[in-house]
Amino acid sequence: MRSARWQRVRIVKSVQTKVCVDGSLMKEYVLDEPLTEGFLKFLEYFGTVRSPDNLKKPYFSFEKELFISIRGFTGDCCVEVRYKKEFQDLVADYFHLLLFYEREGERGISQLKGIEESIRGKMKVRLGHSQENGS
Amino acid sequence: MEHPRQDTQPPFIYLNNAATTWPKPAEVLWEVADCLRLPLHEPGRTTGTGSQDYLSAAREALAGFFHAGPPEHFVFTQNATDSLNLLIHGFAKKTGTPFHAITTELEHNSVLRPLTALKQDGVITLSVVPFRDTTVSLAAIKKAICPETRLVVMTHGSNVLGSVQDIRPIAEYLHANNIFFIVDGAQTAGHIPIDLSDIPVGAFVFTGHKALFSIPGIGGFFIADPDTVAVTRQGGTGTDSKTLAHPSEMPMRFEAGTHNYPGIASLYAGIRFIRKTGQDTLEKKTMDLTRTFIRELIQIPGITIYNENPGLPVVSFNIAGIDNHEAGFILARAYHIIMRTGLHCAPLVHNRIDDGKGCVRASFSYFTTGEECRAATDAIREVAESADR
């Protein structure tokens, strides 16, 4: 039997893909387990989480500039992820990483922060290149 | 069987009828099933005569419905976009030399993109006439006309603002001045009475899957003078097969390949349903729902309605403090209410009304109920109350 630590939420399938008005890439995923309050708390370490009251279902949104945004409902297995236009290739795995490190607790937070720094570094390099090319 | 909703209704409220009406009348579904039960009756292609000649029946139904003829001047296509492409590119090909064309800010990309493609190829210069309130006037069209103007393409009903354009004076003026006038009736055909015997259009475009209640994949156009538009597709017609040049007779001049028989059968049945129910009855029901919806929506703090007095059953709005996509997502997933969000393929309208950000659109059909409208406005109220403002 696997330990609880390794029972991570997995993506079962991607059911929809669409390019949005702002150029971001939207993907809708079906997960093998419903999203939890714990996942929302984990998300708070990495971006802005909004979860308004008084809706029929517990809706949340997550926004992380230059990375991704997420929309979904806790208790649901479906989630919508938007990959920001500018660095889609660099952030393509970011949602998977969030799912992967969520169950790691404190260790997961610091590990993902480290990965995030590395991605930001690549973003800066790319931005620097584009500024040089533009000048 | 009553209409299909009673035994197959899934647990959602469908308010996206301006995109595609749902559900379809039972007799439309029956007609599609009937059409496929026997081998297709394809004049010129089949020797069998067992099934109905849907092509002729549907053309005659369309001619009667739109008061235009002869029936052979009704051409079947995939949808309104397909019709507009055939007409716009066909007219440009026929004209041969560069010319000036006019369209409006109210248009769908089915008009804007073919015209933009011609503009990019240097075939046309293009003027885009702005709308005022929710309509485009003859005066505004006249202002844009220059000696090189040969073509005006204009929507009859806005898919965002639900405004019906007064096309008769425009058609009369353009006809008198020998300017080809293509009217995009995708949103109006089936919703309001259209009498083409009284409106001298060059061509009138319709689609089946909206207010004509047919299945997706069938549309068409009426063309007054087929010689104004060059043929841009050639192929098998089941007639004059020895000749390698595509036939010039109507309607095969613009129709190549096997027809969408189930679609045509559904269009035929859809028109029959409208006539049997009464277009006035349909229009009254959908517009009553629309007005009720607007009345309720106006009461909700934080709602901006972009068309408080539409002529079609379409209501476009935004909720303060919440992005239209997010609003649509919550309404669909938490309340099972399906609406359309975003730009509705009409980007220029949105540049004017919401800085190009898009909005939520609710659109109604004869099969929408008052309870569904109330449930929708209750849900919108809850979403609006949850928004950060």
pLDDT of the residue at B163: 98
pLDDT in tens, B84-130: 999 999 999 999 999 999 999 999 999 999 999 999 999 999 999 99
- pLDDT at residue A132 tops 70: no
Res. A135: pLDDT tops 50: no
Nearest chain B residue to A56 by CA: give it: B334
With 70 as the cut, is the pLDDT of residue A5 above it? Answer: no
B8 pLDDT tier (thresholds 50, 70, 90): low
Tell me if the pTM is above 0.95.
Answer: no
Query: What pLDDT, on the 0 to 100 scale, is given for residue B46?
Result: 67
B354 contacts in chain A (CB < 8 Å): none
At which residue do the structure tokens 């849907």 appear?
B54
Note which residues in 352-371 of chain B have CB less than 8 A from chain A: 357-358
Q: Which of B80-84, B95-99, B214-218, B383-387 has the lowest average pLDDT?
A: B383-387
Q: What is the pLDDT of residue B206?
A: 98
Tell which phi-psi region holds residue B190, choosing left (phi > 0), alpha (psi between -120 and 50) or beta: left
Q: Provide, as residue numbers in chain B, all residues whose Cβ is less than 8 Å from the Cβ of A61.
A: 326
How many whole angstroms separate alpha carbon A134 and alpha carbon B380? Answer: 46
Contacts of B230 (CB under 8 A, 6+ apart): B90, B91, B93, B94
Residue of B329, B343, B387 lying closest to A80 (CB–CB) = B329
| Residue of higher predicted confidence among A18 and A134 | A18
Inter-chain Cβ pairs, chain A and chain B, closer than 8 A: 36
Q: What is the mean pLDDT of residues B160-189?
A: 98
Task: Note whether B326 contacts A71, CB cutoff 8 Å.
Answer: yes
Q: With an 8 Å Cβ cutoff, are A52 and B387 in contact? A: yes
Q: Which pLDDT score, from 0 to 100, does residue A2 have?
A: 43
pLDDT in tens, B252-299: 999 999 999 999 999 999 999 999 999 999 999 999 999 999 999 999
Report the percent of chain B where pLDDT is more than 70: 95
User: For position B1, what pLDDT does the model report?
Assistant: 45
Binary contact (B386, A55; C-beta < 8 A): yes
Kindly tell me if the per-residue pLDDT of B43 is higher than 80: no
Q: How many Å apart are CA B273 and CA B4, to the nearest integer?
A: 14
What CA–CA distance (Å, rounded) separates B306 from B289? 17
Please give, rounded to a whole number of angstroms, the shortest distance from the CA of B389 to a CA of chain A.
Answer: 12
Tell me the C-alpha distance between B193 and B65, whole Å. 8
Chain B environment of A52 (Cβ under 8 Å):
386-388
| ipTM computed for the complex | 0.86
Cross-chain CB nearest to B382 (options A56, A73, A76):
A56
pLDDT band for A7, please (50, 70, 90 cuts). low
Cβ–Cβ contact B329 with A under 8 A? yes
Q: Is the pLDDT of residue A37 over 60?
A: yes
Asked if B330 lies within 8 A of A59 by C-beta distance, the reply is yes
Over residues B344-365, the mean pLDDT reads 97
The H or E element that residue B154 is part of is strand B149-155
User: Residue B4 above 60 pLDDT?
Assistant: no
